[in-house]
Each structure stands twice: as C-alpha cells, then as structure tokens.
Amino acid sequence: MFLDASDLRRAEWERWQFNAIRFLVLALALSLIAWLVVRMSVTRPMARMAGWTRALRRGQTTAPLEMSDLGLFGPMAREVTVLAKSLHRAQAAAEEEATLRLSGETQWTEERLKQFAKLRLGEAPLVVVSNREPVRHVRRNGKIVAETPASGLVTAMDPVMRACGGVWVAQGSGDADRESADDRGRLRVPLDDPRYTLRRVYLTPEEEAGYYGGFSNEGLWPLCHIVHTRPQFRPDDWNHYRAVNEKFAAAVLEEIADTESPMVLIQDYHFALLPALVKRARPDSRTAIFWHIPWPNFESFSICPWQDDLLLGMLGADLIGFHTQYYCNNFLETVERAIEGRTDWERFSMTRGRHTTYVKPFPISVAPDFVDEPPATSREALLESLGIPSAEFLGVGVERLDYTKGLPERFRALGRFFERYPEYRERVVFVQLAAPSRSALPRYQEIEAEVDDVVSSVNAAYQTKRWRPIVYLKRHHDHRDIYPYYRHADFCMVTSLHDGMNLVAKEFISVRGDDDGALILSQFTGASSELRDALLVNPYDVDAMADAIRDAVEMPAEERRSRMGRMRQSVREQNIYRWAGLLLAELRHIPEEAADKGPSASLAPSAERST
Ligand code: ADQ
C-alpha cells in the first residue's frame, strides 16, 4: 500500500502559514496595545505635566494639575503640585511684599511673620496649646476623612502656625484621630503641605464631660458672656478641669523638654491653670495666655467658687491677652480686688513676689485670604444649588449653634422685617449656615430646638408657593463651601448677644474684593469697636434690627462701597499676622526669669483650697 503524504505536507505548510499570520496579527495587536498603554499612561501624562510645568513657570496658571488620568505618575504629580503651590505662594508673597514696599505700607503678611519668627524668635520654638485641634480625623461612610472644626480659634491660629511652624498641642477629638497619628499622638499638618506638628492629647469620656462640657462650657462660658444663662459650678467638673490642665501641662513640658527658652502660647478659657503649671516647671519659658471670650466685671466673675485658683493660674503667665482694652480693664480690676499683689494701672500689670504679669489687648482677626484658590461659583449657581429660582437680595448668617450668637433674635427680626415691609416678600432670601456645637449639653439642645421653631414659624407665616424667607442649613461647612455665600450676599448678619470678637464679620469683609455688601453687626461684639462702618444693632431690639435689614437692602451702592472699602482697609491692616506678630513681639520683650526666681509657689493653684 502506498500512502500519498503530499496532502499532509500541504496541510502542514498551510498550518505554518496560518500560524505565521496569526502570530503577525497578534504581534501587531500587542504592539498596538503596548503603544496605547505607553501613550495613555506615560507619554500623554508626561507631555501634560511638561505643558503644565511650562505654563506654571511662565505664570500662566496656578491651578493644580488635574490628577484623574495620571496613572503611574499620580504620586509624582501630587508632589509636584505641592511643590508648585509652595513656589506660587512664595512668589505671591514676594510680589505682595514688593507692592507693599512700593506703596509705603507696613502691613503684616504671612512672609513678614515668618521672617519675624525666624529672626526674632531665633531657635526658641513656638508651642501653641488649645482645646480644639486644627484638623480632626473622622469616619464617614466607612472612610477616614480629615475635617477642620468650626471654630474661631482654629481659623485664627492655623495661619499663624503655618507661618511660624512649631508644635500645636490640642485635644484629639475625632473618632479616627488615634489611627491617624503616631503612638505619641503626633502628626504633621496641613496634611498636603506639612508646616507644623500637631500633638494630640486624648481624654477619657469622663474628663471630656467634666472639663470641657461641664466646667469650661457650662461654667466659664456663660460666666464670661452676659447672656443670662446661669453658669453651673460642680466640684466634680472642677476636679476634671484641674486634672486635664495637668495632663496638658505634662504634654507641653514633654514637647519643650530639650529646648531653651521656649515660647508657649496658651489659648482660651479651657486652660486657665496651665500658665502657672508650665512656669513653675519651666521658669525660663515665656508663657502667654490669650483669652478669646469676653472678661466680665468683678462682680460677675466673683460668683465662681474657684475664682482665686483661676486667677492665680492665669497670673502664672508673663503676658495675658484679650481682644479689647475693656476686657483688660475688667481683668485688672478683678485681680486687684480678688488677689493680693501690686497692680500697676500705668503699665497694665500685676506683680506678685518677683513675678510680673502684663495684660494687653490684641484684637484678633483673619488671614487676608479666606481660602486658597476660592471657588468660582456664580450667584446663579449658588441659588440654584439651594433650589431658589431667584432672589433679588441675598442675606447670610454663619455661626456655630450657640446661645450667645443671637440666632432666635435674628430670625424674629427677619419676621418683623417681612411684616413691616411686605414689599420685600419674595424678594429677600436669608440663608443661615449653622454648625451644631456642644450638642451633648442641655442648653445647646434647647437653643437648637428654639432656632428650629423660630425658623419654622417665620417660614410658615410668610412663605409662598415659590418662596421661602429663611433657608436653614444646619451642618458643618468647609470654608470653601462658605466662601460663595459671603461672596454673593447683599448683606451679612452678626447678631451676637455677647461675643469676644467675632470672626464671621471679618471673614465676610475679607472676601468682598468687589467692595460691595452691607454688614449688620451687634454692638455687643468685640468687632464692633473696630468696624464702625457696619450697621450696628442691639440684638435685643427686634424692631431696630428689622429696620437695619431694610437699611442694608436699600443702602445706595455708593454708600455700600465706601463703607465696605473702609472696613476692608481695616481688616487688611489689622490681620491675623499682625495679631500674632505683636503678641509674640510683646512676649519676647518680657525679661526672661532666672530659673531660681521662678514665679512664687503661690501662683500655682492650691490643691487643698480647690474643691
Ligand atoms: P467662636 O465663638 O467660634 O470663636 P467666631 O469668632 O465667629 O466664633 O468664629 C467662628 C468660626 O467658625 C468662623 O471661622 C466661621 O467661618 C466658622 N463657622 C461658623 N459657622 C460654621 C459652619 N456652619 N460651618 C463651618 N464653619 C463655621 C471664639 C470667640 C469669638 C472670637 C474667636 C476668635 O467666641 O468671639 O472671635 O474665638 O478669638
């Protein structure tokens, strides 16, 4: 039998040919895919990064590089973006300095504060202590996110720390704070461009309730604000307050252990005992306490059962700062009448033993830029996002939900305005941004319920099918979200019953580059002594406030512009860098105490007398 194998050979040849073609097609497809991948994830992003860097170098853009399709280069692009931001900031600061020099102005800027800190403070590190931290980590929908608390103190201190560097000791209050810091509670902030260290101190729920909710916020807060809310003084709260002050003192002492002559800047009424605790252990430190809320008169303060301990704790400081001269007067009168020592009304100081404490006003303020790279939201887009088809006049209020801020009074005044001036119905919309605050305390639950009620009743009384007079947004907002409201409002209302300074008024002014907008401001805020071009009101006088709203919406454009222009000039000059610069300069001039002549032991609060 013969078998003709030529078919097999042909078939084999065809198979080879077929495989060769398949291989070629496959190789082509693979090359194409590889080419596309390289182009998408390497060549194009590189070209975009190069183009963006070129535009940045030429000063044509400052916007961060869009990251969504950067693939492999994501981490590098992030770093380059941070670097670019720093360069841009440095360039803007240099330009600002040059402009100021040319115009002969001596304005405080971030750069000037930075240079001041470097040249004048030298190696002395700056340690800031406050209850509120500049950034807290919280869990949202299973993710950890960083958020800035709604707090005047944080708004003011963060730019200072960004300029000076150092350590900020504060309570770790976010539910994901521990995971976001190292074992000692330390992390570098701001997270995207670290410039200082945050040292978190963790409290137990009992300490938090007694020291923060109890003594600080149910005792000292209503004691210092004249708002007719009775302060609560409980010995247990006081014990926690003392213990927490000691806990913070231990953290501060640890932070300054290896440094000579550190500067310690203590913030607010949560830490009245801290100055003496720090100075007793470190007499070489220069220690100041800044009191962010009003100081009442002697009679009001004297109802506190532990007033001597608080005053002696504060007098441990070399320098005590308040917002206004009036609070300084009240304080010096209080110590003169309550504490044995030599009061000097010429130099505004109190001397006990060998230790002198100076008392001075430092009116706090805001940074010239409310936010970096503000959003370009238009007025129409803003109104649309709120479901408001149109509003001829837009009013805005921005507050923590606090009974000192006069929110019910403001909404009653709005109701009276629509009652008295019905021609403004359907033409004026008032947007209130309110961040819930201290919600565990009964008085804060009451004020929240009262505000809900007043808003509902004013809306129920005047709303129509296509209009609601008050839009009430009860939640925390980032400053970037607040910016468009300030920017597009025709008027802003600050109606505090009593307020140390009030930064909302200054924030509103700082964003009005258009020199437009009217400010209605309570005469009981510290800010009212600086911002005389605001429409000053007594928040207890509902009729007068209703008239002030009418005056704000009817104010001629020319008058609005000249008033706003003058207020902007004042806020620009008296900015937060000036506040910090003057405070640090004053503290630096105070002669250093020799270690053997530290504050007399009597400056420390006595444990025996305290409860
Ligand atoms: P506060 O009582 O907190 O400050 P304020 O000075 O008005 O009051 O500052 C509030 C800050 O919180 C502002 O920066 C504001 O933008 C922000 N904020 C308000 N509402 C918000 C919201 N809904 N969401 C997010 N942020 C919000 C205390 C004293 C003041 C003093 C400051 C600084 O009571 O008198 O001016 O410290 O010293």
Q: What is the pLDDT of residues 381-397, one digit of tens each?
A: 999 999 988 899 999 99
- Residue 501 pLDDT > 80, yes or no? yes
- Structure tokens given for 531: 């911002």
Tell me what pLDDT residue 311 has.
Answer: 98
Q: How far is the CA of 339 from the centre of ligand 1 (A)?
A: 33
Strand partners, 184: none
Tell me what pLDDT residue 118 has.
Answer: 80
Integer Cα distance of 535 and 436 in angstroms: 27
- Residue 245 pLDDT > 70, yes or no? yes
Nearest CA to ligand 1 atom 28: 152
Tell me what pLDDT residue 402 has.
Answer: 98
Q: What is the Cα 558 distance to its own chain's centre?
A: 33
Nearest CA to ligand 1 atom 32: 152
The number of the ligand 1 atom at minimal distance from the alpha carbon of 294 is 35
Nearest CA to ligand 1 atom 35: 500
- Residue 71 pLDDT > 80, yes or no? no
Tell me what pLDDT residue 257 has.
Answer: 95
- Please, what is the end-to-end C-alpha distance for the chain in angstroms? 121
Nearest CA to ligand 1 atom 16: 504
For 560, residues 6+ apart whose C-beta sits below 8 A from its C-beta are 515, 516, 517, 518
Q: How far is the CA of 324 from the centre of ligand 1 (A)?
A: 17
pTM of the model as a whole: 0.84
Choice between 363 and 7, residue whose per-residue pLDDT is larger = 363
Q: How far is the CA of 156 from the centre of ligand 1 (A)?
A: 9
Burial class (CB in 10 A: 0-12, 13-18, 19+), 213: middle
The number of the ligand 1 atom at minimal distance from the alpha carbon of 323 is 38
Rg (CA), the chain: 30
Backbone φ and ψ for 379, nearest 5 degrees, come out as -60, -40
Task: Return the percentage of the chain with pLDDT > 90, whole number.
Answer: 70
Integer Cα distance of 200 and 540 in angstroms: 40
- Best residue among 503, 507, 575 to mutate for probing ligand 1's pocket (most ligand atoms within 8 Å of CB) is 503
Q: Which residues line ligand 1 (CB under 6 A)?
A: 150-153, 155-156, 292-293, 364, 398-400, 433-435, 476-477, 482, 499-504, 507
Tell me what pLDDT residue 38 has.
Answer: 78
> Average pLDDT, whole number, for the chain?
90
Integer Cα distance of 364 and 470 in angstroms: 31
